Chain A
Amino acid sequence: MLFAVFFPLLLACLIPFLSRYKHKVHTGFFVLLAPLSIFLYFVSFIGHDFEPVMKSYPWIPSLDITLNFHLDGLSLLFVLLISGIGALVTFYSIYYLHKSERLGHFYVYLLLFMAAMFGVVLSDNVFVLYTFWELTSISSFLLIGYWNHRERSRYGALKSMLITVFGGLSLLGAFLLLTVITKTTSIHEMIQQADLILSSDYLPLIMTFIFLGAFTKSAQFPFHIWLPDAMEAPTPVSAYLHSATMVKAGIFLIARFSPIFSTNEWFFIIVSGIGIITLCWGSYMAVRQTDLKGILAFSTISQLGMIMAMLGFGTEAAIFGAVFHILNHATFKGSLFMIAGIVDHETGTRDIRKLGGLMTLMPISATLAFFGTFSMAGVPLPFLNGFYSKEVFFESTLELNNTSLAFAEILRTAIPYLAVFGSIFTFVYSMYLVFGTFRGEKHLDQLPKKPHEAPIGMLIAPSILILGVIIIGLFPNLVNESFLAHTASAILGEAYHPHEIKFWHGFITPLKMSLVVVGVGTVLFIFRKKWSGVYQAIPGRLSMNKVYDTIVNGTKTVSARITNSYMNGSLRRYMALILAAIIVVSLGTMYLTDGFTIELHPDTLADIKLPEILVAATMAIAAITTIFTRNRIAAILILGVVGYGLSILFVIYRAPDLALTQLVVETITVGLFLLCFYHLPNLRPRTESIGFKSVNLIISIGFGLLMTLIAISAHSSKWYSTIADYFIHTSHDLGGGDNVVNVILVDMRGLDTLFEITVLGIAALGIYGLIKLRAKKGAE
């Protein structure tokens, strides 16, 4: 099974080399190898005596993350879908994509996606599952944006990326919570601890996160909006990712976890509710589309909603219906996408208003489309698989369990009616799709190309899929007991006893519902033009796309506005913000930690003496004067006064080395100022507004006050004695000097001095560079 996941990845690495020969051999032929061999390998597992297989390969043992691959019935269904349709799509793409396209890119992305999808459905470890989950999002993003010169492609790719990654991240949240609660990373061990999870306080959060992950991936309402825009991808991609595989990853997820959650009533309410809403909304909106792939996209949404709803019902019949419909939908929807691609390829347009009357020109495609659409609509004919699963669906809507919640009761009563409503519209758009394209008037003059039948190679893949539709339609029990029963029991968590699928059950309610669908659908289809005005009212101008665009653009504008509000380029503003933050945080901390305790003992403080007070007063006055002076020489000299005052304080406080250095440095600084000032413009009179001044004043006074408070309160709590004793004791004996300050500087803490010398050296070099080096004019 490791082979299944990593063979496509391995092949993807080789594709760039192989695609060099694309003019001789289409790269797609090499790619075909991967899905075909994997399909053949997994087909051998089908049978009555299928038993789940578990393979384990270590990856990150310390985090309990192992590559656990678990092949049970559910995985088997998906693996076969992915590899089987993967092979057909690859084959189709060989004829669809011209050799002049960047084939290497296309097939690398496609193989990447295939491997990721195998990983998703086979993983038993939640974190491995998440890894592959995100890999599908990324490769899908790359495939949607394959024609990256088109603006719509890029928009669609980004949209799908944002929505699916949003869901993917929620999923990670759910997985983390599940791991924390169950202390295991393996899904089947989690299922064994279902009671623990169901009784956990985090249950609502876990379910929300899992639902978000599944609904975004599977394009459920209201996250369905990315799927129609993803139709900008090449048609093989739409057929593969957006009908058969990736959009079913969410379905897979719900099915995988339903043994844990299905006993919870909210599981039924949310999954069925959202599913049935998606079914109705998708089919309702599909009728309005004019683009072939647009119709198919909304149809996919609606069919996924139907499967989701059946998973939510949770009864045996419903689960079987769901897995049956997963298979059926993959067959007919894949072929319909391919036919849409053929029509596009041969006529140059996908606009259904320009198409019509192609039946005589493209007879084979038309035949295939008839089978596909009729199966999709669930027309009661014994050779169409869509009818069977639709009937199981109707049947399951009628036999829902009674629930205790009143809300669930309302939903339970409404579901059969909603199901019929959605199916009527499904019938209408299916008929519209096939009759609008292949019957009616010809508008050959409006078509960019002269239409003719597609090359035989292109028709093979959809023919095989339609053959699948018919074979399952004729012999539904072929896939029933040996294959789908295993899938259903994997979802139910207990053995499923398959019933024989029969076309004719007698004249029972589900059949009556089907007949109502066909009858009302036909009437609605014939008079489509008369009632299509209803779309002006609902949805009218409402649309989820608008909400999405508002959120995306709104985020951009709002964050730009927030950033511009404080990042205005003025250094003064930044300085003020930084200082204000310092003041607020420090004062806040002091207040909260009771840092204002001021206990002053006279014996710990030095005596107050007059000379020091005089010097201090002089410095204070000088410092304040710097603010008010308008003369630059005066400002510089007053700064000198402060510096010299400080050196006198150093003298008073018995710091001869400091006093010396301060005197010399102050003299040089003043000298430097005087050298520079001549070149600097004169100080201008202040013209700033009062507000500007008062903000500055508040900030500076606040900061000064803060420093004073810190100094005083620091004095009030002296907890440790100084280490100066050590320096004084050992300076002579160990350091060999009597000047303790100098011994500290060069001996005990010599590293400080080394780097202070470095600082001076760098400053000197910098000054030299600033003065000497000049960028030449126009050198920029």
Chain B
Amino acid sequence: MEIIMSILAGILFTTGIYNLLQKQLLRIIIGTGLISHGAHLFILTMGKLKTGLPPILEHGDTNPDHYTDPLPQALILTSIVISFGVTSLLLVLAYRASKENETDNMDLLRGNEND
């Protein structure tokens, strides 16, 4: 299963990067969204995908073999929140940038020679 998930993460990265390399702002943000999904899946896969119990202790049972690995989940949770913050900031930035400059074409957003 890990192989399939690795391939899926690879596909998410591929599409994300492809979108990132486009010229339109909206596509770039979609690309970053895809890349962060890919990264989360990557972290999850790097832990073990064995389907034990969710990491919530029941009846004082502390045998690790019964549960899934809690650490990658904690890391992904942190990462989800951070990428959410960054994505929303990017979106608003894109909105303001295209309003101010009246274009969303990245090739036209270059600044001046001496800026």
Contact = CB atoms under 8 A, between A and B. Distances in A.
Interface string A643-672: 100100110111111100110010011001
Interface in B26-64: 26-27, 29-30, 33-34, 37-38, 40-42, 44-58, 60, 62-64
A731 B5 CA distance: 29
A620 B26 CA distance: 20
Contact of A569 (B9, B55, B111): B111
A665 B30 contact: no
B10 A704 contact: yes
A745 interface: yes
Contact of B106 (A570, A624, A673, A714): A570
Interface in A550-601: 569-572, 575-576, 579, 600
Interface residues of A, number: 95
Contacts of B69: 722, 724
Interface string B67-84: 111110110111011101
B1 A753 contact: no
B95 A680 contact: yes
A606 interface: yes
B42 A600 contact: no
Which one of B17, B23, B58 has the highest number of Cβ atoms from chain A below 10 Å of its Cβ?
A: B17
Given A699-B21, A711-B46, A740 B67 contact: yes
Contact of A708 (B6, B62, B70, B107): B6
Contact of A703 (B14, B40, B78): B14
Contact of B6 (A619, A712, A770): A712
Contacts of A636: 30
Contacts of B3: 600, 605, 712, 715
Contacts of B7: 708
Interface in A603-633: 605-609, 612-613, 616, 619-620, 623-624, 626-627, 632
A428 B73 CA distance: 91
A141 B8 CA distance: 64
A53 interface: no
A612 B92 CA distance: 35
Contact of A679 (B14, B84, B98): B98
- How big is chain B's contact interface, by range? 35 or more
Contact of A655 (B9, B14, B18, B73): B73
B8 A616 contact: yes
A376 B30 CA distance: 82
A722 B1 CA distance: 19
Interface in A51-92: none
Contacts of B91: 672-673, 676
Interface in A735-755: 738-741, 744-745, 749, 752-753
Interface stretch (A105-113, A165-173, A317-325, A760-768): A760-768
A80 to B, nearest CB: 54
A728 B13 CA distance: 32
The 4 closest A-B pairs by CB, nearest first: A704-B14, A708-B10, A763-B85, A711-B6
